[in-house]
Structure 1
Amino acid sequence: MAASKHAAAVGPVEITVPSYQGAYPKTATRFIRLGPDQVNDTPVDEEEEVFILEALAAYAPSAVAEEDDSPLAGHTLGLGRLTPRILRRAHAVDQVAGKGVTGRLLWLVREAHGYLRHEKTAAAVRSEICKALTATGARAVIAHSLGSVVFYDMLSRGEVPTERDGKVRVTTFITCGSPLSWLCVREGVHTPGAPLSVPPGVEWTNLHSPNDVVNRGVGLSHLAIGVTDVVAHNGGVAKAHDVHRYLAHEAVVERIAKVRPL
């Protein structure tokens, strides 16, 4: 914002970054992302295995037919605590979508499972966000990756702070690299078969990158009412989901510049 043409007109912008890291169990996936002090090496159970298999199948449907169903397949592929069935599907997805794709997806899929299928964890996550919104009086929310699912869920549940007239205080909702295009994620936070939508008075902008494996390179306008899709050319697969590249996009600056304090 400071480097943009809007800097003089807008002035200083205060940003609060609430963390819900502590709400999650210390799984092996978090070890991969956050370091050894964040892990207790919790294995994948049967219910989570089914969720992961469905998520990977939704990402690359044609990969399912390519799986190696031989007895030993998946037992020698590595990746720690993941099951042979997951490893077989992950390998098949990589064969179809590109080498290393599932390595970039699995942390998101496991964290999405933790939010969507464990209400205690989900409630703790939403509580942290709500506390920050209440304390700051924020009128704009930028939600990256799984954060877009969390805040959309809060809007749907009516858990976002409101004004005296009952309207949601947040007027600007910006999603970046959102996985809401996945049915397995979407069905956990809204009514199946209905389009995605936000309350009246909330302007929703969704940024998606063509090479972002999390949003599968597509926007949300075909699934949502009142959302404006913006293509963010963030570079190759390695950087396409990077939050800094999304935040640097002019569309984010323009939306934030329009927000006015109460």
Structure 2
Amino acid sequence: MNALQVIGVHGIKQGSSATTAGLSSKWQKTLDAAVAASKHAEQVGPVELTVPSYQGAFPKTATRFIRLGPDEADDAPVDEEEEAFILEALASYAPSALAEEDDSPLAGHTLGVVGRLTPRILRRAHAVDQVAGRGVTGRLLWVVREAHGYLRHEETAAAVRAEIRAALTATGARVVIAHSLGSVVFYDMLSRGEVPTGHDGGPGVTTFITCGSPLSWLCVREGVHTPGAPLSVPAGVEWTNLHSPNDVVNKGAGLSHLAVGVTDVVAYNGGVAKAHDVHRYLAQDAVLERIAKARAS
């Protein structure tokens, strides 16, 4: 039995040293272990998972300082446009936090990133923590910064999509598993018609699995689809969305209330600290079921 080709689209917090070979190996080991322990092993069969790294496409700006460390980032401050994006993202995540926002000079300084973020961001982040739970904004800011880098910088976004398209073309994969920001990237590719077509002229990718997706955030959706319209994928693409109740990135909920043609599946990944972990999502039975179905089709 030939190996079924699968493309993984990674999310944030990879670091500049995360290579395609390294990411692919880590995802492959998790998936192989899940298959071996699953009742679906025979139906899934051998799988070859490729995770193209797009970290090199992101500029080394101040938004990467918190994620990669001072040796990996330039000293450029957060500009007004990025500040506005971050403030909007945090407000949309926890609207009630706006009433709790503290205007005092020291508000938010306990986040430990003074000098890299503006006072307005620190105040709002502190307010969101008060409403959503301590430490939530520390996780959210990882996503928000790289989402901004993708959604508001077309040259960066085009380079990211080019990496994914090259991997799809090279492997002929019909299955895509996209985690976190990766779900935004691949949804954007589907919307733009940038996914290679199949040999029959139909969609080259027929199975789209999203895990821990931030597409429920308005500021993210506005960047990749028509405002006011529901999220959707092209005909012939089966979309399954896994979400964990404790995952702060997907806000503990699915996408079916915002999208047509999506099947939401709850993934019980544990507490907040691990709920967004890609390997916990990859090990879910629903992922294996979708892969087995793709092989049979």
Band the TM-score falls in, shorter-chain normalisation? over 0.9
In structure 2, the partner of 1:254 is: 289
Going from structure 1 to structure 2, the CA distance change for 1:84 and 1:36 (only over 3 Å counts) comes to closer
Amino acid in structure 2 at the alignment position of 1:179: P
Q: How does 1:81-230 map to 2 (within 5 A)?
A: 81-230=116-265
Q: Which runs of 5+ in 1 are unaligned?
A: none
Could you tell me how far apart the structure 1 residues matched to 2:109 and 2:43 are? 59
Q: Distance in 1 between matches of 2:171 and 2:103?
A: 53
CA distance in 2, matches of 1:9, 1:102: 41
How far did residue 31 of structure 1 move? 3.9
- The Cα of 1:12 is off from its aligned counterpart by 1.1
Amino acid at match of 1:135: A
Equivalent in 75, 91, 101 of residue 67 of structure 1:
101
Is 1:237 aligned to residue 294 of structure 2? no
Query: SS of the counterpart of 1:14?
Result: strand
Aligned-residue offset at 1:40: 1.8
Question: Does the Cα contact within 8 Å between 1:172 and 1:203 map onto a contact in 2?
Answer: yes
> What residue number does 1:46 align with?
80
SS at match of 1:15: strand
Note the alpha carbon deviations across 1:38-84, whole angstroms, 9 max, x for none: 322432100000000000000000001111123x2448444141000
Contact 2:44 2:288 in 1 (8 A): no
Distance 1:141 1:252 in 2: 11
Contact 1:139/1:261, CA 8 A, preserved across alignment? no
CA distance in structure 1 between the partners assigned to 2:139 and 2:108 by the alignment = 21
- Mean CA deviation greater in 164-173 or 246-255: 164-173
**1:133-189: CA deviations, max 9, x gaps?**
000000000000000000000000000000254321101000000000000000100
Deviation, structure 1 residue 29: 4.0
1:241 maps to a residue whose letter is H
In structure 2, relative to structure 1, the CA distance for the partners of 1:92 and 1:139 (3 Å cut) is same
Alignment of 1:7-46 (within 5 A): 7-46=41-80
SS at match of 1:188: helix
The alignment's C-alpha RMSD in Å is 1.6
Give the whole-Å Cα distance in 2 for the aligned partners of 1:248 and 1:133.
Answer: 23
Partner SS for 1:260: helix
Report Cα offsets for 1:104-153 as digits up to 9, x if no partner. 01011000000000000000000000000000000000000000000000
SS at match of 2:157: helix
- Matched residue pairs, number? 261
Give the TM-score normalised by the residue count of structure 1: 0.95
TM-score by length of 2: 0.84
The structural deviation recorded for 1:5 is: 1.7
Aligned to 2:176, the other structure's residue is in SS state: strand
Structure 1 SS opposite 2:43? helix
